[in-house]
A and B are shown apart, each in its own frame.
Chain A
Amino acid sequence: MRPSTPLLALVAMSTLASVVALAAEDASFSKDLAATIALQGLPCDKVVSAQRNSDSDYTATCRDGNRYHVYVDPNGRVVVKKL
């Protein structure tokens, strides 16, 4: 039983580390989406959730309840549409 304890600790810590890394990435991506929406002149104080629809295609939900479809069109332009 004893030798398995370090292994469990290792698994737990690595899981925790990956969760922290993912959370940091999520936060920065949410910021990216929020900045993108704001650059289009649309209101969004903070993106609380982002759902990935496909490559470069997201649905962002802002803290104030606004939802936006953020994607890159075939011409390479970032398009933000209010849902």
Chain B
Amino acid sequence: MPETMHLPKDYLAVCGLLMLLGGCVYPRAVAPETNSSATPAPAPPTTPPSANAPALESPPQSAAPAAAAAGDATNSSTVPLNGVVSPPAAPSKPSTAAPTPNRQGSPLAAAVSSSKPGAAMPVAKNVPPASPKVSSSAREAGSGVAAPPATAATPLTQTAPTAAALDLTSLEQRLRDTHAIGIFTKLSLKNQVDDLLAQFKLFHHGQVPPTLTQLRQNFELLLIKVVTVLQDGDATLATAVSTSREALWSVLSDPQKFAQI
């Protein structure tokens, strides 16, 4: 009698423990996907068509200011830059999420996550200076031209880099937070980014060996590596990186922007 009463309790306990174990094991496999899926969703909708659209439209507007209002709306949808801008909104969410805990040795994790002056990926640092820069350049452009219509058109062209810069910040954070690549891979990529930055530094200091063409090739190669490594585990981030290509290049190739990194 006591045995028969005892068994169901034990079985219930075992079942409960098994469910707990299952719960512990399951998230491990799914975790990366949930992150990636959560991140991208907000990105496309957040694309601020009104803010970004004007940036690309501005060149035509200068020619025909009268049709500016109508043109903005139509151009915003056709402009490819929209894709670039969309990522910035998305990254903010992932960054707020819990930082990636690294399972490997502590030294590696520290190296990757540490915000050493030279160690951090260059992209993020661009962002803060970019916004003031834009405003100043916009002012210059506005003063250079003339009346109110001209000033309205020029700032629009300058807003594109701002959006891109914001995108870059989030990109860096997303690269740090992604579960799609391991610590060794992240550290390797960081090393290669640092190497490329050193080459750009030499170039901007007037050293000839790395020509702009060579730098562009190296830049493209590194970007392809990043995208390749990410595309299986975090497709949305891979897309964001590839769409930010020109924004990144504009920062690296421009001596003034590069100096602010």
Residues of A near any B CB (own CB < 8 A): 2-3, 6-7, 9-10, 13-14, 17, 20-21, 24-25, 28-29, 31-33, 35-36, 39-40, 55-56, 70, 72, 76-78
Contacts and interface: CB of A to CB of B under 8 A. Distances in A.
Nearest to B186: A32
Given A32-B181, A35-B182, A76-B111, A17 B25 contact: yes
Contacts of B185: 32, 35-36, 39
A33 B188 CA distance: 10
A75 to B, nearest CB: 9
B10 A77 contact: no
Interface of B: 3, 6-7, 10-11, 13-14, 17-18, 21-22, 24-25, 28-29, 103-108, 111, 119, 181-185, 187-189, 191-192, 225, 229
B153 to A, nearest CB: 44
Nearest to A29: B182
Given A9-B14, A21-B28, 7 more contacts: A10-B14, A25-B103, A28-B182, A31-B182, A35-B229, A40-B188, A72-B107
B18 A13 contact: yes
Contacts of B111: 72, 76
Secondary structure type dominating chain A contacts: helix
B120 to A, nearest CB: 12
A72 B184 CA distance: 8
Given A3-B6, A14-B17, A78-B191, A32 B184 contact: yes
A55 B105 contact: yes
A3 B10 contact: yes
Contacts of B7: 2-3, 6
Contact of A6 (B11, B107, B189, B225): B11
Scoring A2, A3, A39, A70 by chain B CB atoms within 10 A of each residue's CB, the highest score goes to A39
A72 B192 CA distance: 14
A67 to B, nearest CB: 16
Contact of A32 (B13, B18, B28, B183): B183
B188 A36 contact: yes
B104 A39 contact: no
Contacts of A32: 181-185
Contacts of B29: 24
Contacts of A28: 182
The 4 closest A-B pairs by CB, nearest first: A32-B182, A6-B10, A36-B184, A55-B105
B191 A77 contact: yes
Scoring B7, B103, B104 by chain A CB atoms within 10 A of each residue's CB, the highest score goes to B104
Contacts of A29: 103-104, 182
